[in-house]
Amino acid sequence: MNPDHGRLIANAFEDLEHSPKCPEVKRAYEIFIEETLAQARELQKDGMKFEPSGSQLLCASHGISCGKGGNYETAQELAKDIENNQHIFYRPSDNDYEGYEDHPLFQLTNIKNTNGENMRANDVFRAVHDINGHTKADHAPFTPAGENRAFIEHKKLYSHDGIRALFTETAGTGNWVNYNKKSGEQNRFYQKSGDLDKLKFPPDKAAIFPNGISFTDWHP
């Protein structure tokens, strides 16, 4: 990812307002969630299992290497679990939306995890994005360039309105993590050192970027 493009997106994200009731935002997220759930149903129909909260022990039982907190150590380990086991661990986001409980992605869906529990829309999307984005994009790593590749791959499965919300939830938040003025440089260091638990993340805004940003072809 070109750092200049990353900084432009990060700065634009700073200017966005959390606007879940705005008709344009509401429509984009409703379509985005509907199209994401359709992808999840197709994956589950083919045998994919969504399991909450990994651990090093659980990962080992699946022949997978996980780091701190049960996160996949690399995109290759993620892909191995998906491709070999028809299985993916995801981190539940029940505690991530404090102050933003009106965010469309915080709602519960009818997609169920391996425990028979209904998954939040955000959790469904993150799992689906790891499969249809990162893994299909030739195991794109969790780096600025890798996240860009995953977005470009995954947007093939969304409509125009769905892509607007997809951009906010991937390119928008991802570039904020890597290039925001306050913590971007430090976040990039933590990603290289593997200290992912120290990363700072942006607020969970429901918003959409201007078309001139979200529908420009960004290149690494």
Residue 69 pLDDT: 67
pLDDT value at position 20?
98
Structure tokens at 52: 């909450």
Question: Which parts of 155-198 fold into alpha helices (H)?
Answer: 160-167, 173-179, 184-193
Q: What are the residue ranges spanned by the domains of the chain?
A: 3-47+104-112+121-214
Q: What's the pLDDT band for 215 if we cut at 50, 70, 90?
A: low
Q: What is the pLDDT of residue 68?
A: 66
Tell me: the pLDDT tens digits for 34-55?
999 999 999 999 999 999 976 7
Q: Which residues contact 123 (CB under 8 A, 6 or more apart)?
A: 50, 52, 90, 91, 92, 93, 113
Average pLDDT, the chain: 91
Pairwise CA distance, residues 194 & 196, whole Å: 6
Question: Tokens representing 79?
Answer: 């892909």
Task: With CA atoms as reference, report the closest residue to 153 among 142, 139, 174, 173.
Answer: 139
**Stated length of the chain:** 220
Q: Whole-model pTM?
A: 0.91
Write out pLDDT tens, residues 193-202: 877 778 899 9
- pLDDT band at residue 219 using 50, 70 and 90 as cut-offs: very low
3-class secondary-structure state, position 133: helix
- Residue 107, pLDDT score: 98
Dihedral class, residue 69 (left if φ above 0, else alpha if ψ from -120 to 50, else beta)? left
Do 132 and 106 touch, CB atoms closer than 8 A? no
**Antiparallel, parallel or unpaired: β 108-112 and 118-120:** antiparallel
- The structure tokens 């125009």 sit at 160
* Cβ atoms of residues 62 and 81 within 8 Å: yes
